[in-house]
Amino acid sequence: MDDAPRSDAAAAASTGGRTVHCVKFQKDLPALDAPPWPGELGRRIFEHVSTQAWKLWEERMKMLLNEYRLMPWQKEAQELIAKQMEDFFFGEGAALPPGYVPQQAKT
Residue-wise pLDDT tens digits, 88-102 = 999 976 655 566 565
| Residue 100 is assigned to a structural domain of this protein | no
| Residue 102 is assigned to a structural domain of this protein | no
Q: Is the torsion defined by CA of 33, 51, 48, 42 positive or negative?
A: positive
Please return the burial class of 59, using the count of CB atoms within 10 Å of its CB with bins 0-12, 13-18 and 19+. Answer: exposed
| Residue 72 is assigned to a structural domain of this protein | yes
- How many distinct structural domains can be found in the chain? 1
Please return the burial class of 6, using the count of CB atoms within 10 Å of its CB with bins 0-12, 13-18 and 19+. Answer: exposed
The four Cα atoms 13, 18, 22, 25 give a dihedral, to 10 degrees, of -40
CATH number, domain containing residue 80 = 1.10.3880.10
Which residue range is the domain that position 32 belongs to? 8-90
Cα 58 from chain centroid (whole Å):
8
Q: Is the pTM higher than 0.95?
A: no
| Residue 64 is assigned to a structural domain of this protein | yes
Q: Which of the 8 DSSP states describes residue 72?
A: T
Residues of the chain with pLDDT under 70: 1-16, 93-107
Count of Cβ atoms closer than 10 Å to residue 53 Cβ: 23
